[in-house]
Amino acid sequence: MSKRSLISITDLTKEEILRIAELAAYFEEHPYEPLLQGRVIASLFFEPSTRTRLSFESAMNRLGARVIGFSDATNTSVSKGETFHDTIQVISNYCDMIVMRHSLEGAPRYASEFSKVPIVNAGDGANQHPSQTLLDIYSIKKTQGRLDNINIMMVGDLKYGRTVHSLLQALSHFNPTFTFVSPEELQMPREYTMFLDQLGISYTVKREIDEAINEADIVYMTRVQKERYSDPMEYERMKNVYVLKNSMLENVKPTMKILHPLPRVGEIEQEVDANPHAYYFNQTENGVYTRMAIISYLLGVKK
Amino acid sequence: MTANDKYMEVRAIENGTVIDHIPADALFKIIRIMGLDQDSEHRMTFGANLESKRLGCKAIIKINDRYLEPAEINKIALIAPTAVVNTIRNFEVVEKHAVELPQEVRGFVKCANPACITNHQPVETGFSVMEEDGKILLRCRYCEKITSRFEIK
Ligand SMILES: [Zn+2]
């Protein structure tokens, strides 16, 4: 078996991103494919995340692999003071791959430096969450029929939202046009706009959702968390500016889809759920196929 | 040549290292990270607030009978990118070169991100080195965050 880890979206080339999206489409057609019969995959959630863990474990099971691991680190040797290094060193002897989530940023990259088996990062603090980005990419490809020349509006917390940063990097291979809608306090960090400037990718910065939404192929909503605001009054004033309502969707492109990494806490009105542009729940289903694609690609059972 | 430079030259060393063109505010950092404050074995001279055409105000360090390892020169490069290291043998400068920014540094810089694994587990730090507008930026190889005002361990 090949040994390839996936820690950060920038570990993948454009061709590999496209290949994983193709494989996700394949697994959507073939959702039970026992390519990993007899293999063992460890699912190590040092930090709990039920949604991501179940999506990964569903993908592992659909591929026929056996799953071992833990869903939070409280009752493990980790809580008895064993170093992270030793935990990974030991568990990498038991399995063919480790999928891990950790609250400490950089833990998966560090693990990939000495683990005998590939590491898949299922989220490390505010840093990276590449399977989320790849499922966003697959959702865009599936709903738009292409990845090239996508017009995407990103709304909400663009400063701390790691999903928007990774998606921005992944889409940068495909000549996108961005509209960033956020309060000034939570705007897209300069290192990302500099990155776009260097690549000659165009973007517009806005403070509210306006008619630019009518040009968008994708509207990517994110959560605006109260604790991100230094001033709670400012939060109360701003929170409604970034809420998506049906009335904003009257003149959008017929093919436009709304994505959200979920869970949401009110930034999309409930009434929008029944709108044909809403796609955020289908997006979670795509997550399972995308994770089947990631695991089988990294283990080399599907090239 | 200013009077100060002349004064420094009077105290030329026979064998050892002269680190010149250190920005004045970097002198004490270099003394600390090179462990010169702990070194009682080698005789050394520090010159501060010397006039410099390039830097306005510079510092200089002379160390007798001690030569620098490449890793030490990398540390100096991060703190004092303008520094010049002279190797002296028998009162002659036998080697003189400007420090060069390394592409990667391992070990001696602390990551500024409190949530970084290197600040919680016994992990050697590592950074790729970038320069923007004359400012040195370090990107952590683990948490990927950029450290600009860095602390040297
Ligand atoms: Zn770090």
- pLDDT value, residue B81: 87
Which tops the pLDDT comparison, B116 or B146? B116
Q: Is the pLDDT of residue A90 over 50?
A: yes
Chain B CB contacts of A86 under 8 Å are none
As a residue count, chain A comes to: 303
Cross-chain Cβ contact B123/A191 below 8 Å: no
B114 alpha carbon – ligand 1 mean position (Å): 8
Residue B29 to chain A, least CA–CA distance (Å): 28
What is the percent of chain B where pLDDT is above 90?
39
B137: closest chain A residue by CA = A191
ipTM for the complex? Answer: 0.88
Residue B83 to chain A, least CA–CA distance (Å): 29
- pLDDT value, residue A100: 98
Quickly tell me which residue has 């920005």 as its tokens: B23
Give tens-digit pLDDT for A7-62.
999 999 999 999 999 999 999 999 999 999 999 999 999 999 999 999 999 999 99
Max mean pLDDT among A5-14, A185-194, B10-19 falls in A5-14
Using CA atoms, how far apart are residues A94 and A42, in angstroms rounded to an integer?
Answer: 8
Give tens-digit pLDDT for B80-117.
888 999 999 999 999 998 998 889 988 888 999 999 99
- Domain topology for A130-283: Rossmann fold (3.40.50)
Instruction: Please state the domain extents for chain A.
Output: 9-129+285-298, 130-283
- Pick B140's closest partner by Cβ from A103, A106, A191: A106
Chain B CB contacts of A103 under 8 Å are 115
Answer CATH for A9-129+285-298 from 3.40.50.1220, 3.40.50.1370, 3.90.76.10, 3.40.50.2000: 3.40.50.1370
Residues of chain A contacting B, Cβ within 8 Å: 8, 83-85, 102-107, 109-110, 124-128, 191
Residue A116 to chain B, least CA–CA distance (Å): 18
Cβ burial of A141 (10 Å; 0-12, 13-18, 19+) is buried
Predicted structure pTM score = 0.86
Q: Which of A41, A93, A44 lies closest to A67 in space, CA to CA?
A: A41
Q: Is the pLDDT of residue B4 over 70?
A: no
Domains A9-129+285-298 and A130-283 share a fold: yes
- pLDDT value, residue B12: 79
B123 alpha carbon – ligand 1 mean position (Å): 10
A–B CB contacts, 8 A cutoff, strictly below: 50
Cross-chain Cβ contact A110/B143 below 8 Å: no
- pLDDT value, residue B11: 60
Residues contacting residue A289 through CB under 8 Å, at least 6 positions apart: A24, A25, A27, A28, A31, A59, A138
- pLDDT value, residue B126: 95
Which tops the pLDDT comparison, A149 or B41? A149
Handedness of CA A124, A128, A130, A133 (dihedral sign): positive
- pLDDT value, residue B46: 87
- Pick A127's closest partner by Cβ from B121, B122, B143: B143
Cross-chain Cβ contact B144/A126 below 8 Å: no
Give tens-digit pLDDT for A114-168.
999 999 999 999 899 999 999 999 999 999 999 999 999 999 999 988 899 999 9
At B31, the amino acid letter reads: I
- pLDDT value, residue B10: 43
DSSP class of residue B57 equals E
Nearest-10 Cα torsion for B105, B108, B112, B117: 90
Mean pLDDT, residues A69-79 taken together = 81
Q: Is the pLDDT of residue A2 over 50?
A: yes
